[in-house]
Structure 1
Amino acid sequence: MSRRRGIMSESFKEELAKELGFYDTVKSEGWGGIKARDAGNMVRLAIEKAETTMNGTKNQHDD
């Protein structure tokens, strides 16, 4: 069975991990070393960033 390709780029995930304060864990243990709560917070932050980007793009077109 092939591994499913992720939606978020590795660099974006690393950026989020740094922002949320658990990048050291990712560096030392890999993504499997993070807590479920950290993973959830990472997804939440990614969604917030996407919504902000979409709203900014939408507002630019409303002018």
Structure 2
Amino acid sequence: MSRRRGLMSESFKEELAKELGFYDTVKKEGWGGIRSRDAGNMVKRAIELAEQRLGK
């Protein structure tokens, strides 16, 4: 089974994690260590930013 390529760059995900306050968890445990809620909030924030950029 091949690994699916992510749509968000690693640096963008790290930026979002810092903004949302769970970057320490990512540093210590990797992306698998974050809560589902945090992952959902990260996706939600990424969508908000994309919509803002499209609106301008």
- Pick the TM interval, shorter chain: over 0.9
Query: What is the CA-CA distance between 1:53 and the residue it aligns to?
Result: 0.4
Which stretches of structure 1, 4 residues or more, deviate above 4 A after TM superposition? none
One-letter amino acid matched to 2:20: L
Identical amino acids, percent of aligned pairs: 79
CA RMSD of aligned residues (A): 0.4
State which structure, 1 or 2, has the greater radius of gyration over its C-alpha atoms.
1
- State the alpha-carbon separation in 1 of the partners of residues 36 and 28 from structure 2: 17
Between Structure 1 and Structure 2, how many residues are aligned? 56
Gaps of 5+ in 1: 57-63
| Higher relative contact order, structure no. (Cα contacts within 8 Å, ≥ 6 residues apart) | 2
